[in-house]
Amino acid sequence: MNGYVEAGYISVLGVLAGYSALLLGRSRKAKKALVRVPVAEKKSEPIE
């Protein structure tokens, strides 16, 4: 088209896709952390 239009659309779609991917990753991590808590509870480590 003229370079600018493409750059605009690519930056919008790119940033939104990137942030979405980040959200999905963080969601997975948060879920894992929640599952881990009960395990940690049983494993109360002695003080160093």
Partner 1 sequence: MSRSVSGGIGSGGSRTIKARTLPSKRKARRAWAAVAIVVLAIGFLLYKGLGNSLVYFRTASGAWKDRAQLGTSTFRLEGVVVPGTIHTTGTGVDFAVESSNVSVQVHDTANPPQLFQPNIPVVLVGHFSGNIFLSTQIMVKHSSSYIAAHPNRVATVNGKKL
Partner 2 sequence: MESNRYKWVRRVLGVVALLLVAATVVLGLWVTPPDVVQGQLVRLIYVHPPVAWVAYLAYGVTSIGSILYLWKRTRNIKWDLLAASSAEVGVIFTALTLITGSIWGKPAWGVWWTWDARLTTTALLFVLYLGYLALRRVPTDSHRRAVRSGIAGLVAFVDVPIVHQSVVWWRTLHQSATVLNATLSPKIHGEMAMTLLLGFISFTFVYAWMLMHRYQIATMEQRALDVELEQLIEERQYEPEAGSALAQ
Residue 32 identity = K
What's the closest the beta carbon of residue 36 comes to partner 1, in angstroms?
4
40 is an interface residue for partner 1 by CB under 8 A: yes
3 is an interface residue for partner 1 by CB under 8 A: no
| Rounded Cα–Cα distance for residues 18 and 35 (Å) | 26
Residue 37 identity = V
Chain centroid to Cα 46, Å, comes to 33
| Site residues, partner 2 (CB under 8 A) | 1-2, 4-5, 7-9, 11-13, 15-16, 19-20, 23-24, 26-27, 30-31, 33-34, 37-38, 40-41, 44, 47
